[in-house]
């Protein structure tokens, strides 16, 4: 059993947000676990950069309230709730409050996809093939 303490992890910058990936501190290689994971914070009044990737992404809001922009709308997700983004679903995380939002997120390549990735595979992934 291992524990993962964000307080002992160095957060790096990714635009306006700060990110701490598991791999950074715990040396968890992509071949060791079938997913990646990270904590990230969105500062008060800030927004993440627009993100879009083949990996579905499951996020749990740990503190604060996130406004999740995806699919043409914005959904408020308070601490204790989670949100799931589909493969290639573009998303921006906003924080309209005066406290930082802390989110834990895990992401993985869809089942049946080529983990190495090849140019031109994106359409097949989107179609669920
Ligand atoms: Ni993302």
Least confident of 6-15, 41-50, 81-90: 6-15
Q: Residue 53 C-alpha to ligand 1 middle, in angstroms?
A: 7
**Size (the chain), residues:** 129
For position 123, what pLDDT does the model report? 42
Contact 64, 97 (CB under 8 A): yes
Q: Residue 75 C-alpha to ligand 1 middle, in angstroms?
A: 16
Q: Residue 114 C-alpha to ligand 1 middle, in angstroms?
A: 19
Q: Which residues surround ligand 1, an ion (CB under 5 A)?
A: 51, 57
For position 34, what pLDDT does the model report? 79
- Kindly report the CA angle at 124 between 118 and 128, in degrees rounded to 5? 130
Q: How confident is the model at residue 129 (pLDDT cuts 50, 70, 90)?
A: very low
Report DSSP state, residue 67.
E
80 pLDDT above the threshold of 90: yes
Q: Would you call 25 helix, strand, or coil by DSSP?
A: helix
Tell me the pLDDT tens digit for each residue of 45-57.
999 999 999 999 9
Please provide the average confidence, as pLDDT, over all residues in the chain: 83
For 80, half-sphere exposure in the C-beta direction (CA atoms, 13 angstrom radius) is 0
Q: Residue 19 C-alpha to ligand 1 middle, in angstroms?
A: 12
Q: How confident is the model at residue 11 (pLDDT cuts 50, 70, 90)?
A: confident
């Amino acid at each position: 059993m291992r524990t993962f303490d964000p307080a002992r992890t160095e957060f790096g910058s990714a635009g306006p947000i700060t990110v701490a990936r598991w791999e950074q501190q715990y040396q968890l290689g992509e071949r060791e676990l079938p997913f990646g994971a990270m904590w990230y914070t969105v500062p008060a009044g800030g927004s993440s950069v627009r993100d879009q990737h083949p990996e579905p992404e499951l996020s749990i809001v740990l503190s604060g309230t996130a406004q999740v922009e995806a699919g043409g709308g914005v959904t408020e997700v308070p601490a204790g709730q989670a949100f799931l983004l589909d493969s290639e679903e573009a998303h921006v995380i906003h924080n309209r409050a005066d406290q930082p939002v802390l989110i834990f997120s895990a992401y993985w390549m869809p089942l049946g996809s080529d983990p190495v990735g090849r140019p031109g595979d994106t359409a097949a992934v989107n179609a669920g093939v």
